[in-house]
Copies of this chain bind each other. A is one copy, B any other.
Amino acid sequence: MAKFTPISGFPEWTPAERLTEKRIIHSIERRFELYGFASIETRSIEPLDVLLSKGDDKEIYVIKRLHADPDAQGGQDEGAVGLHFDLTVPFARYVLEFQHALSFPFKRYQIQKVWRGERKQEGRYREFYQCDVDIIGQGSLPLAYDIELPRLLYEVINELPIPNAVIKINNRKVLEGVYRGLGIEDIEGTLRVVDKLAKIGPDEVLAQLQVQCSLTQKAAQACLALGQIHGHDATFVEKVKALQVEHPLLDEGLEELCAVLNGCKDLPSGAVEVDLSIARGLNYYTGTVYEGYMVGHEHIGAVCSGGRYDNLAKGGRQPLPGIGVSIGITRILGYLFGRKLLTPVKGTPVDVMVILPDEVSRDAAFAVAQTLRRRGISTDVYHLPQNFGKQMKAAEKRGVRYVLFMGNSDGESHQIKDLVSGDQYEIDIEQWLPETDVSHFNLKGAK
């Protein structure tokens, strides 16, 4: 039995949980496609040197054939390869490799599993779905896309059976502009410390900025004050200006950030807010950055994040600037399933179970099922002619809402029993439709 133990970090769902995950993925895909994003998938492996140049090498899983060909010398076979640890590195490579087949701006989404050889820790997965959406331009990319993404993200999350999200935005140019205006040299180090504000608190940020980044007390205090600015409207600009720091990059950043905030002003209040502590760890971001948090569950950290980068896919004839966000589907679901905040109630796609009265009625039952299936209604025939009570109970246990009792060949009508309302009534199988507002899951707390 030891071999049937779960493997830590490699989650698997029950059919009911998977049905929920599938509906969520389908809903995300549909929304992305309405916005014109095309699906791509990349192979699961990349050459090890490509992975190592971009990622923390501790997180990489290398793969090897158990018995490599003895006649394959070194690189003759596929060479040293590893499983991708995100979808950004493979996407950058794909854009360059398929450049001839793409139209720019290239809007793509990509929902695939990624693997990270992380140490075991709650909420950390070693295999999980990453759900990325990016727009890559050729030469340049209008600021309009910095507005499109948080709007899309808001719409996507709003229609999922998960808690509402707030999308916090910032602009790297604002931070870097202030830092440069203050004469700070270690821009990246300062960014990294400020990014930890929510985790380590203001005192520790002040201390680390002075000790690790060699900032003066005054500069450290200005950086902290900047990181503490947040708000839902353009008044944040006054607070930044009150710091009395000047730099052209700061002006540019404030202008962009105001434009993005303004572009989202018709979204419900609280959907998008400016938070100048959002810095994002990765060094390739150069403008707008995003982080999304589930309201009431902020302690699990950002569930989606992203930003603008000037030239991720280096190697083309022109720069390929882009902007993108990533949604951590597996992390969200693992948390919601694990805490029973989201409870799937249906373990099967079946809407109607045809009751099997006896063995000789099997063909007739199958014909009834075929008629309903042809009309788009998921239908199954009970597998054995057991007593009706047992068949109904089995259907109910699976979360099937309707059972169908077949009429006889003397023209008696088929009858449907609604296991939720308890109603039973005659139907014409060429006309009848199930209720469509069947709930597939319960979400704790209002949306």
Contact = CB atoms under 8 A, between A and B. Distances in A.
Interface of A: 1, 3-4, 6-16, 18-19, 22, 33-45, 47-50, 57-58, 60-69, 78, 81-83, 93-94, 96-98, 101-103, 105, 107-108, 113, 115, 117, 119, 126-127, 137, 141-142, 144, 148, 263, 315, 347-350, 362-363, 366, 373, 376-381, 383-384, 394, 397-398
B379 A43 contact: no
Contacts of A37: 349
Nearest to A57: B66
A38 B351 CA distance: 12
A183 to B, nearest CB: 37
Contact of A397 (B103, B117, B366, B397): B103
A45 to B, nearest CB: 6
A36 B350 contact: yes
A338 to B, nearest CB: 15
Given A1-B315, A7-B45, A107-B380, A61 B61 contact: no
Given A50-B3, A78-B7, A383 B66 contact: no
A420 to B, nearest CB: 18
Given A60-B66, A107-B380, 4 more contacts: A4-B97, A12-B98, A16-B101, A22-B39
Chain B CB within 10 Å, residue with most, of A45, A50, A96, A377:
A45
Nearest to A4: B97
B33 A349 contact: yes
Nearest to A365: B144
B144 A362 contact: yes
A348 B43 contact: no
Nearest to A370: B151
Contact of A4 (B9, B22, B42, B96): B96
A15 B380 CA distance: 36
A1 B263 CA distance: 40
Contacts of A36: 348-350, 378-380
A103 B34 contact: no
Given A15-B108, A41-B18, A78-B8, A65 B69 contact: no
A34 B142 contact: no
Contact of A38 (B64, B68, B347): B347
Contacts of A119: 69
A363 B144 CA distance: 9
B117 A65 contact: yes
Nearest to A135: B383
B64 A39 contact: no
A128 to B, nearest CB: 10
A113 B61 contact: no
Contacts of A58: 65-67
A397 B101 CA distance: 11
Contact of A43 (B10, B39, B60): B10
Contacts of A3: 47, 49-50, 93
Given A3-B93, A379-B34, A40 B65 contact: no
Given A83-B63, A383-B142, A384-B142, A38 B78 contact: no
Nearest to A51: B66
